[in-house]
Amino acid sequence: MRVALALIGCLTIAGCIEPFEGSHIQFTLAGVPPPCQALLLHTPPLPGWERCTDGGDPTKPLTAEEQRFVYHYEMWATVRKSAAVYLMSFTVQQHLFPDEQRQLDKEKKLLNNGQVFKIGGDRSYWDDMNAVERTTVDTQMAKAAGVFAITSFSYDQFEADGKTMTKDFYLGNHGQLSRAHNGVYYGQVQSSHPYGAVTLSGGSVRVAPNLEDLDSMWVTIELNDPNRPDPKPSSLIYLEGMAEQTVRGVINVQAASPVDPAARAAFGVTPSMGEEDYF
């Protein structure tokens, strides 16, 4: 009866919006650093660590800004004990880079929406702020710089014009941690709030695959283009865990790291989002 009513509704209005049939994933990452730090902090360093240093010289590590363009994480799933399903690419990084933001403001670079980047939001440019305003912004940015965010990943900071930021390049906002200036924001790695005593954590993403037959999930460290055709996971598994069915159809995965005892994750997967079983 429900299907018949929905069909009648589609015939009587201008068009229908198809329900999202994929899956919603809520997750928390704890003790998970930026990918290059994950490679370098391991003893001995994990394979590929050379790319995270200056010419392979561990005494000359790349800056955090440089490291953000080298490696990224990818989230994968196993379904029906056979198929490996690619879910998403992301990176973990400082929520913002103060010096970089000042330079972007000075050069009047463009956000992906075409608006000129302003370090103070819509209020004024950095060059137009007085000393008190600059000090206030600097103080807030310093507090927020230590917060790690789960964000989109891009090899390129700018489009071909050299002025417009690519849509996947993430630039955080010091004023409101949950909103990005540019790029996609998924959440925060477990850490202390810079403006209070509470703990920050948790990410959220919707993926196209329906994971109702989920068996396990894992996270890899990758160097290849996240938009490559027919992606395959690397052999460097950073987090992994088995699926456990719980109430109301939500699937839970508690993940640990085979290479880093400090890293762990928890995933809550709601598959078959086009159904009503969750409400």
Cβ contact 214:251 at 8 Å: yes
pLDDT, average across residues 14-32:
79
Q: What is the largest CA-CA distance in the chain?
A: 69
How confident is residue 18, by pLDDT bands cut at 50, 70 and 90?
A: low
Give the burial string for 58-67 (b: 16+ CB within 10 Å, else e): eeebbeeeeb
Distant-in-sequence contacts of 136-140, Cβ < 8 A, 24+ apart:
137/174, 138/98, 140/174, 140/175
pLDDT, average across residues 236-243:
96
Residue 188 predicted with pLDDT over 50: yes
Residue 75 predicted with pLDDT over 50: yes
Instruction: Supply the angle between the helices 131-144 and 98-106 in degrees, to the nearest 10.
Output: 140
Distance CA 83, CA 188 (A): 29
Cβ contact 269:25 at 8 Å: yes
Give the burial string for 11-33 (b: 16+ CB within 10 Å, else e): eeeeeeeeeeebbbbebbbeebb
The pLDDT tens digits for 2-15 are 444 444 444 444 45
The number of residues in the chain equals 279
> Side-chain half-sphere of 253: how many Cα atoms within 13 Å?
30
Residue corresponding to tokens 């929406």 = 113
Which amino acid is residue 274, in one-letter code? G
Distance CA 128, CA 132 (A): 12
User: Would you state the pLDDT for residue 128?
Assistant: 85
β-sheet bridge partners, residue 187:
150, 203
Percent of the chain residues past pLDDT 70, beyond the cut: 88
Distance in angstroms between the alpha carbons of the first and the last residue of the chain: 19
Distance CA 8, CA 191 (A): 50
The pLDDT tens digits for 34-70 are 999 999 888 888 888 888 888 777 778 888 888 889 9
User: Would you state the pLDDT for residue 191?
Assistant: 86
pLDDT, average across residues 129-142:
88
> Which of 267, 260, 265 minimizes the C-alpha distance to 243?
267
Provide φ and ψ at 226, rounded to 5°: -65, -20
